[in-house]
């Protein structure tokens, strides 16, 4: 598995777009790469650009340690992302994909789920990989607000989901990220309330296909429920085909099944505009 943040040991990749700790870029430089007026496609496998469709709630989360992630607007000033995207000891900004001129929007509060375990994610185990950010200003004039829900039950192999994010289209090439893209995937293996592994049904993890990649961590996972696309989880990690390190194989997601109540309670405690 490849957690999409820093490139860690093992066959998984966390999908926060970052550099190896020995080569961390200053956040201003990394932000400059992301904020070019003609960004490249995002998400591997030829996923379609989707800034104004199902991906209309997606934003970019940039950290002062040189990493970037995806997130989704779930209230006027609240962004849902992955907990591994917002480690303590850093500051964060929000960027609106495609906005010209680009802005770095301040984040005034960050909360990670109290059950999130950094060591667990590093060891490729399921964890409460969910976080919230509150921005200094409402963003609903420039991005859509997406509703959250828990996945329909039973969660079974073959169930369809859509992932969205601003990650890279070429593994290892940070310049290829920055455009919102989405991909329709299906659940595989034995999905449940702790983790749902998704795959391109056309390739089945045996050849390179659609899937999340570096920078897509924290991106929303949608499910069609009664004709409405609602966020039922966030992107956490990826693999290359046949579970090798990289992208284009499996997309690991953390469902909100056990964590949506915390999301609602935190937003209520913070208040929202």
pTM: 0.87
Is 137 within a domain?
yes
Instruction: Band the pLDDT of 253: cuts 50, 70, 90.
Output: very high
Q: Residue 22 has what pLDDT? A: 26
In a domain, 264, yes or no: yes
Cα separation values, 53 from 50, 93, 143, 260, Å:
5, 24, 11, 24
pLDDT for position 20? 35
Question: Highest mean pLDDT range out of 25-34, 37-46, 194-203?
Answer: 194-203
Determine the pLDDT at residue 39. 30
What's residue 48's pLDDT? 76
Arithmetic mean of pLDDT, 51-69: 92
Sequence-ordered list of residues with C-beta below 8 angstroms from that of 50, at least 6 positions apart, any chain = 56, 164, 180, 181, 182
Res 264 pLDDT > 60: yes
Give the pLDDT score at 123: 67
Is pLDDT of 12 > 90?
no
Query: Could you give the percent of the chain with pLDDT greater than 70?
Result: 83
**Is residue 43 one of the residues assigned to a domain?**
no
Torsion sign, CA atoms 69, 74, 77, 80: negative
Whether 169 maps to a domain, the answer reads no
- Cβ–Cβ < 8 Å for 155, 192: yes
Please give the mean pLDDT across all residues of the chain: 85
Measure the CA–CA gap between 3 and 214, rounded to whole angstroms: 8
Bridge-partner residues for 81, per DSSP? 131
Q: What is the pLDDT of residue 35?
A: 41
Supply the range of the domain harboring residue 30: 22-38+57-145+260-270
- pLDDT at position 6: 34
What phi, psi does 170 have (nearest 5°)?
-125, 120
Phi–psi pair at 158, nearest 5 degrees: 100, -20
Q: Is residue 112 part of a domain?
A: yes
Q: Are 128 and 258 in contact (CB under 8 A)?
A: yes
- How many structural domains are present in the chain? 1
Does 153 fall in a domain? Answer: no
Confidence of residue 181 (pLDDT cuts 50, 70, 90): very high
**How confident is the model over 80-96, as a mean pLDDT?**
96
Q: Is residue 207 part of a domain?
A: no
- Residue 14's pLDDT is 64
- What whole-number percentage of the chain has pLDDT above 90? 70
Q: Who has greater pLDDT, 238 or 45? A: 238
For residue 69, with 0-12 CB atoms within 10 Å meaning exposed, 13-18 middle and 19 or more buried, which class applies? buried
Average pLDDT over residues 30-44: 41
Give the bridge partners for 97, in sequence order: none
Say what the pLDDT of residue 110 is: 98
Q: How far apart are CA 6 and CA 115, in angstroms?
A: 21
Residue 52 has pLDDT above 90, yes or no: no
CA 54, CA 78: separation in Å to the nearest integer? 18
27-31, 55-59, 60-64, 160-164: least confident range = 27-31
How far is residue 214's CA from residue 89's CA, in Å, rounded to a whole number?
21
Lowest-pLDDT choice from 119-123, 149-153, 229-233? 119-123
Q: How far apart, in Å, are the Cα atoms of 7 and each of 24, 58, 92, 156, 162?
A: 12, 23, 20, 30, 24
Residue 128 belongs to some domain of the structure: yes
Mean pLDDT of 235-251: 93
In CATH, what number is assigned to the domain containing residue 77?
Answer: 2.40.10.10
């Amino acid at each position: 598995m490849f957690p999409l943040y820093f490139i860690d040991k093992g066959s998984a990749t966390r999908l926060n777009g970052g550099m190896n700790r020995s080569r961390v870029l200053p956040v201003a430089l990394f932000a400059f790469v992301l904020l070019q007026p003609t960004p490249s496609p995002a998400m591997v496998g030829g996923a379609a650009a989707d800034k104004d469709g199902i991906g209309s709630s997606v934003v970019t989360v940039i950290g002062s340690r040189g990493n970037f992630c995806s997130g989704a607007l779930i209230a006027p000033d609240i962004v849902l992302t992955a907990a591994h995207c917002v480690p303590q000891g850093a500051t964060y900004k929000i960027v609106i994909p495609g906005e010209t001129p680009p802005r770095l929007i301040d984040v005034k509060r960050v909360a990670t789920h109290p059950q999130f375990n950094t060591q667990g994610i590093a060891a490729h185990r399921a964890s409460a990989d969910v976080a919230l950010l509150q921005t200094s200003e409402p963003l609903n004039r420039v991005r859509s607000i997406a509703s959250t829900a828990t996945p329909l039950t039973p969660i079974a192999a073959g169930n369809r989901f859509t992932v969205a994010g601003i990650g890279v289209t070429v593994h290892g090439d940070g310049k290829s990220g920055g455009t919102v893209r989405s991909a329709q995937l299906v659940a595989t293996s034995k999905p449940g309330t702790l983790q749902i592994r998704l795959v391109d049904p056309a390739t089945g993890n045996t050849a390179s296909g659609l899937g999340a990649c570096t920078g897509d961590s924290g991106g929303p996972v949608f499910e069609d429920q009664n004709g409405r696309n609602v966020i039922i989880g966030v992107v956490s990690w990826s693999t290359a085909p046949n579970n090798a390190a990289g992208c284009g194989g499996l997309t690991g997601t953390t469902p909100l099944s056990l964590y949506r109540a915390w999301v609602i309670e935190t937003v209520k405690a913070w208040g929202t505009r």
